[in-house]
Structure 1
């Protein structure tokens, strides 16, 4: 079920007790010299649409949010960012609108790392206001971390931003928009050995970096290792895992997160 394709009475007839509302969130920001500024939104939008296609009777898909929290990319051109409170109010309002329609289970499907912290704040506030509603936020690369790890070829640090993963997915979904002649690896790990940057890694200590501190070009990782063929395998594997995850959410009771 796709919200934009439905009439108000049709939405009113949805069995929300057995429906998962999926809210994809992305960004509009620089992705180096070779990927468009819509990369995060473009990828999560395609993954969300595939998720709905595979589960059309149990998922209600929201239009993808294209504006995210991206202050760490503002030193480059092409980045649009909103402050935490604006992002939080916008996303919280969307969730509350669905709850008003009768939604009982919602998944904020995140496609941009900068949205992760405000997403958690949205979860906390909504949990306080609606304790019986199941609301989850999860990044697609964390949900499908094992699948991505089994396909990637780069070492740690190879998956970051406009990297092997994102470039491969974009090459698969729309190669005409990738500037192949401008693909170049960039980015280095911060000194001190405390932080290790990779999409599939966690860090014990938190610190905020501006991206200019990590990479001159805006790329972090190994886009040189990307390919359309790899992107196809990644898209299929990630989509399959997201579908499994959605089914698991539908089986959950009163919980706030996974």
Structure 2
């Protein structure tokens, strides 16, 4: 379980004073839960992800994972970035093996076998000896996902990983991510500004306010009812979230959840 207690993050601004990005947040993410942090640019969702993952430190408050205070990244979590963060001088399989190698996990033979297994899982066999510049954007993100999964993390942090991809590639990777969630018992904390993406993926959606540094609300999503992206239930969730962000008005009573 991930627990945030009175977590505040502020930055010093030019000319004196400070900008509060996250303001005294109390927040919990359950084990094996898929949580989307949803909001416009500048609302603090990526900052929150960095704090929870240990890549940054809160100004005040406490963040714990399974009761242990987060002070730095740990080997039981992995991070997938929007810009892939792959090494261009390495081949695909070398990129996938990298985390295992620096953490001295497994023998060289086992690392190679595990990398091959995960490249098969993300449908990249045949490209294991390619270099990163030879891949499409979607293929690069598949490499990043394989690298993140190969160390068997308990928590997967993802910062707008599909934001730069075309619609068709994004849909394919969303379905891959749902399969990961179902088969690997991993907690996923996922940052997005795409409302439809949040509804399709998440068990819960935390709606963040860009002006106050607060979470406006948390919406529980019925996953059995949101696999149809054009269905009435999916659209009802969309209407509720649009209303939260003041993007629409005059919702019909029968459309509300």
The answer to whether the superposition gives a TM-score over 0.5 is no
TM-score, with structure 2 as normaliser: 0.29
TM-score, with structure 1 as normaliser: 0.29
Instruction: Name the one with the larger strand percent.
Output: 2
